[in-house]
Amino acid sequence: MSTHMSSGMEHHPDILALREHAERVTSTTAGQGAEALAICAGLFLAISPWVVGFTGFAGLTVSNLVLGLAYAVLMAGYGSAFGRTHARAWACVAIGAWTVVAPWAVNGGAHVRRTILTNTVTGGLMTCLALAAVGMVFAGMGMAGRHSR
């Protein structure tokens, strides 16, 4: 009997199959489309205070700029190396959810319709795109591990 215990996913018997599946899924048209839309959504969030016209709310302006750029950068690397960076997509889910509540949380009650509408729609889209990116790969992972049973 071996006393050595394997730890972590790097020793999982199906790790190569899982990585191959992830790379195959993220190289599809749907995977690349989700990544491209996510990058555009992040960049729009970053410039939204100037496009929509709510730069008077300094806290929300900074929040949208920083989180929009972070989201775009995180999702830009997602498709090329999912097997090693899938946590990025989960971070993007959190960024999208925060974007929805930011007009109330950051502005402390001082908000206008365009800040709420912009952040709610953009944040909702960002959350959905990040969840879709995660779901595309994880939906087929059960199939990749079936042969080990």
pLDDT tens per residue, range 86-107: 678 889 999 999 999 999 898 7
* Residue range 55-83, pLDDT digits in tens: 889 999 999 999 999 999 998 876 555 55
Greater pLDDT, 82 or 50:
50
Please state, as a whole number, how many other Cβ atoms lie within 10 Å of the Cβ of residue 48: 23
**pLDDT band at residue 33 under the 50/70/90 scheme:** confident
Alpha-carbon distance of 66 to 54, in angstroms, equals 15
pLDDT above 70 covers what percent of the chain?
A: 64
pLDDT above 90 covers what percent of the chain?
A: 40
| Token code pair at residue 130 | 């990040």
Mean per-residue pLDDT over the chain, rounded: 79
End-to-end CA distance of the chain: 21
103 closest CA partner among 121, 118, 94, 115: 115
Tell me which DSSP letter residue 49 carries. I
Distance of CA 117 to the CA centre of its chain: 20
**pLDDT band at residue 121 under the 50/70/90 scheme:** very high
On the question of pLDDT at 110 being above 70, the answer is: no
Q: What is the pLDDT of residue 64?
A: 96
Greater pLDDT, 130 or 82:
130
Q: What is the pLDDT of residue 147?
A: 43
Q: What is the pLDDT of residue 79?
A: 56
User: Residues 22-45: what's their mean pLDDT?
Assistant: 83
